[in-house]
Every structure is written in structure tokens, then in C-alpha cells.
Structure 1
Amino acid sequence: MTGDDYELREQLPTPERFVELRAAVEVPPRSVEAAGRGLAESRYGVSAVHEPSDTVVGMARVVGDGATVFHVCDVVVHPDHQSRGVGTQLVDAVVEYLNANAPDEAYVNLLADLDGFYERWGFEESRPASKGMVVPTGERDWGGRV
């Protein structure tokens, strides 16, 4: 990690801290209840801890089925700790996990909110071969189908 102020730990933050970190970087909110359920289903998680305060200031995790699909998500660094290499170290840890655990034929993906960051690990846009799609939160009627 950059300097002696941060330690990477292969653990996830508490659901409360997960919600706080997401709010700090202004990405769509999650409830503490949903965070707790989701974190428990993670394949892998890593946190960056600011040593002097023993506070989790960054996180990243992998979800999926553990064999055919791995989705990198919730890569977040609190704004007060950005531009110090913390995010790079988090993704390095995720990529190390993927290299050790994702079979060659697995589909590894992420939704990037930051242009030019993930490419250094080999991530590239999937278009035109495929496109990412979402159903906006609060507008899910699944096209009238159940």
C-alpha cells in the first residue's frame, strides 16, 4: 500500500460502512439491510484500512457463481483518501483473486464509472460484441413480465 498509513485486509466492511462509503462517492444508495444481504453473498472482498484511525476507507468485491461469471463491483475509495494509490491496490487484490480463482473460460466483467482506470488490468469495453444494460432503480416492472 502507499506508505504506512493503509493496510489491505481480505474482508468486507460492515454493512453500515458499505453504505457510508457509497454515499461518500455519490453512487446509487443501498440500504443497510440490502448491503448486509449482498455482502454475505460476495465471492471475495477486500478493504483498505487507514491505520492511524483503523477506519475502512476503501473497498472492492467480487460477486458471481464462482465458476462461469465473476462481476467486480463496489470499488470505492472515500474522497479523502483518493489519489494515493488505494484504488489501485484494491483492484490489484481483486485481479490477484481472479487470477487464482476464475477459470480461463469464465466471464469477468464490471461496470466502470471511471474512464481510463480499469484498462491497465486488461479490462476493455465489450461493445460492439455486447452492451451492458440496466433497469433503473424504482422503475422495475420487468416489461410487464414476471
Structure 2
Amino acid sequence: MVDIDPDDDGYDLRVGPPTVEEFQRLRALADMAERPPEGVERGLPNSVYAVRVVDTDRDPGSVPVADASVDDGEVVGMARVVGDGGSVYHVCDMAVHPAHQRRGLGTRLMRAVDRFVDDHAPSGAYVNLMGDVDGFYERFGYEETRPASKGMYRRVE
């Protein structure tokens, strides 16, 4: 539960995934597609890297915390890296609670993700993401792949 990006602003950046409930709540609040609980339960522990933002200044009587023994505040942001841990890394599930946006939390999450990848990925590793916030990820050196390639997906029904 160590803060990896200390800042005296009432937010801690902590390594490790959110709970399934926190994950689902943040995705819903950020208008991201819902994920099936079974998939989230399986997937979160298999993250190559995960980080979350905890609001440590929150009023203890406000929004309930899923597991107060794990986090002494409300999880208000998250980001994950999935992949093979060698040649391919995919940044995903980047979300910040709308009431906590515009405070630099997304930037802190992306810096932590990039620091992890830079420290652990071998030279030449491919890092990708699907972003829907114009201009945000570009600040961290991410580029659109078109026209060289295009992103695609298929959802299992």
C-alpha cells in the first residue's frame, strides 16, 4: 500500500488493481462499457501491472469503500497494463472518477504506467492502447497507428 507518486494533495497512487466492485464502478462513472463480472474477477489478478488512485481526504461517512482494510479511502482512479510481459504491453482500463478529474490524476496514472513499462519492458517492446480522449495520450508519446495499421476488435458473445 505504498504511495508510488507522493504528493501532499490528498491522493495516493498505489500499486495493485482495484477490487472488482471498484473497477465496475469507475468504468460506469467514466461512461466506459461494462465488463462481465466473471471476466473482471479472472482478469484483474492477471494484470502485468495495475495502479489505482486513492482519495485519502474523503469523508469516511460518504461513499462506502469496498474493503477499508485494503485502502483507507475511496478508489477514484485506475489504470492497468496487460500483455505477455515481454514483447507486447496493452494499456487499458484507464479511468478517473468525474468528480476528481482535472486534478492531474490521469497524468499521474499514465506516468506510473510508463515508468513501469520503461523499467520492465525490453528494448523494442510494443506498447499500445485504445484511447478516446483526444490529445491526452499524445502528451506521453503515443501516436495513432493509421495509416500503417488500424485497431480492430471482436467481442465474444
1:134 to partner: Cα distance: 1.3
| Number of matched pairs | 138
User: What does 1:6-21 correspond to in 2, within 5 Å?
Assistant: 6-21=11-26
The amino acid across from 2:19 in the alignment is: T
1:3 to partner: Cα distance: 4.4
1:25-83 deviation line (CA, Å, top 9, x unaligned): 11110122221111011000000000023010000010000011000000100101000
Maintained 8 Å contact 2:17/2:45: no
The reply to whether residue 110 of structure 1 matches residue 129 of structure 2 is: yes
The amino acid across from 2:42 in the alignment is: R
TM-score w.r.t. the length of structure 1 is 0.90
The amino acid across from 2:134 in the alignment is: D
Paired residue secondary structure (2:86): coil
Maintained 8 Å contact 2:89/2:125: yes
Distance 2:7 2:26 in 1: 20
Stretches of 4+ aligned residues off by more than 6 angstroms: none
Distance 2:38 2:23 in 1: 11
Maintained 8 Å contact 1:43/1:63: yes
Distance 1:3 1:126 in 2: 38
Maintained 8 Å contact 1:59/1:75: yes
The amino acid across from 1:63 in the alignment is: V
The amino acid across from 1:85 in the alignment is: G
- The structure-2 alpha-carbon separation of the partners of 1:83 and 1:2, relative to structure 1 and needing over 3 Å to count, comes to farther
Q: Structure 1: which 5+ runs fail to align?
A: 141-146
User: What does 1:1-146 correspond to in 2, within 5 Å?
Assistant: 3-53=8-58, 54-135=73-154, 137=155
The amino acid across from 2:18 in the alignment is: P
Distance 1:46 1:75 in 2: 10
Q: Structure 2: which 5+ runs fail to align?
A: 1-5, 59-72
Distance 2:25 2:108 in 1: 20
- The percent identity for this pair of structures is 52
| Range with greater deviation from structure 2 (28-37 or 47-56) | 28-37
